[in-house]
Amino acid sequence: MLSVAEAETIILNLATPFDAEQDIKTIPLSEATGRILAAPIVGKLDFPYWDNSAMDGYAVRYADVKDCSPQQTVTLEVVAEISAGREPTVEIKAGQTARIFTGAMLPPGADTIVIQENTIRRNNRVEILNAPQPQEFVRHQGAFYRAGTPMLEPGVTIGAADIAVLATAQCTDLSVYRRPRVAILSTGDELITPDRPLKPGQIVDSNQYALASFVESNGGIPVSLGIVPDRPAALKQAIAEAIESADMVLSTGGVSVGDYDYVDRILAELGGELHIRSVAVKPGKPLTVAKFPNSCLYFGIPGNPVSALVSCWRFVRPALLKLSGLTENYRPTFIKARCRDRLSSGGTRETYLWGKLLAIDEEYEFSLAGGSHSSGNLINLAQTNALAVIPVGQKSIAPDEVVRVMRLD
């Protein structure tokens, strides 16, 4: 068996990112949330677009007010009122000022803002009570961003803050990587869909739904191929179709050492190069990873529902994100947390125990999910947001000790 670290390295080396020319599409800004940027963004506008006021007050010439104080105030003539969205029509000359509001353009001649709290207004004249600093409360054109310089680099996921930046720069159409297509199939004669009556010996296929949700939440397009019976010919045909139609394939079941586990042999027959067959991890030891000549990356993961999801969180997700064009932060995030419960392991494999990560008094705590931690028990997996990691060679972690935790959110 490979170690978890070895398996992760192999998988990430196999995950070839999308091509920045062939695998891109142009979409409107309104559809860009969560997409991965494929081309650099260079704005054509300065930001701020022009000199403007950061406060409500009066636009003045600093030379007119630099010596004023409560003992020696200065009175100026108010010659205009400028609100946000209006272009000034006057030039401020010596002895003059303009009433100005937050965000409004600075009128020609003015170079400083006196906030209204430091003034007394009397009709068309205003008394300045304190000298401001030179250029105080003026947001200068281009102070935050200069047109023609890089704004966003490719390979990043576009979030709400990025959307605001792009809208401000009037970037209404963006080049993004296409979403990867991920084919999902479940193997096993015992499986049925959730809408069918359950007969003795049968199992409802939850993996098809869980993995489709997993793929979609990580930016992919799930292509559900349904349940394939444990017959080599049918399985070979389904896998061949999946490989031809998708960028990645996730199959559950059929990768262990049972009499009906045909997947590894079929992958080799179809021209796949097998790089991983098992990993020293619990749950999820049976893990098959293969690469095909058309660049399709195949993951054969265990059929037990907990093993399937842990395999996806630990191994598939980084590959899917890297394939999608993400240039950084595609590896899992690990943090330190204090245990609330005793954690146990056999010690021979890197063990992942599911539960909840909580922020308590400026530190993290990990609470183990109640009930059995069997790979077949998906019930206590609900609302899980973290996996505690017990390294190889260690059999337990006591309550109040620190544990390494993999975040799932």
Listed in sequence order, the DSSP H helices in 87-195 are 160-168
Three-state secondary structure call for residue 11: helix
Tokens of 152: 């966003």
* CATH architecture classification, 24-46+145-177: Alpha-Beta Complex (3.90)
Give residue-wise pLDDT tens across range 198-232.
999 999 999 999 999 999 999 999 999 999 988 88
CATH number for region 334-407: 2.40.340.10
Strand runs labelled E in 168-234 = 173-177, 181-187, 191-192, 203-204, 221-228
What are the boundaries of each domain within the chain?
4-18+178-323, 24-46+145-177, 52-134, 334-407
C-alpha 183/C-alpha 246 separation (Å) is: 6
Q: How far is CA 172 from CA 29, 31, 110, 153, 162, in A?
A: 5, 10, 34, 16, 12
What residue has token string 């272009």?
Answer: 87
Listed in sequence order, the DSSP H helices in 250-291 are 263-269
C-alpha 326/C-alpha 343 separation (Å) is: 34
Contact 64, 72 (CB under 8 A): no
If phi over 0 gives left and psi between -120 and 50 gives alpha, with beta otherwise, what is residue 89?
A: alpha
Model pLDDT, residue 21: 87
Give residue-wise pLDDT tens across range 76-93.
999 999 999 999 999 999
Single pTM value for the model: 0.88
- Average pLDDT over all residues of the chain: 94
Rg (CA), the chain: 31
pLDDT category of residue 260 using cuts at 50, 70 and 90? very low
Fold of 52-134: Molybdopterin biosynthesis moeA protein; domain 3 (2.170.190)
Any residues with CB less than 8 A from the CB of 196 and at least 6 apart, and which? Answer: none
| Pair type for strands 203-204 and 191-192 | parallel
Give residue-wise pLDDT tens across range 316-360.
999 999 999 999 889 999 999 999 999 999 999 999 999 999 999
**381, pLDDT greater than 80:** yes
DSSP state of 23: S
| Pair type for strands 173-177 and 221-228 | unpaired
Fold of 4-18+178-323: Molybdenum Cofactor Biosythetic Enzyme; Chain A (3.40.980)
Listed in sequence order, the DSSP H helices in 153-231 are 160-168, 207-217
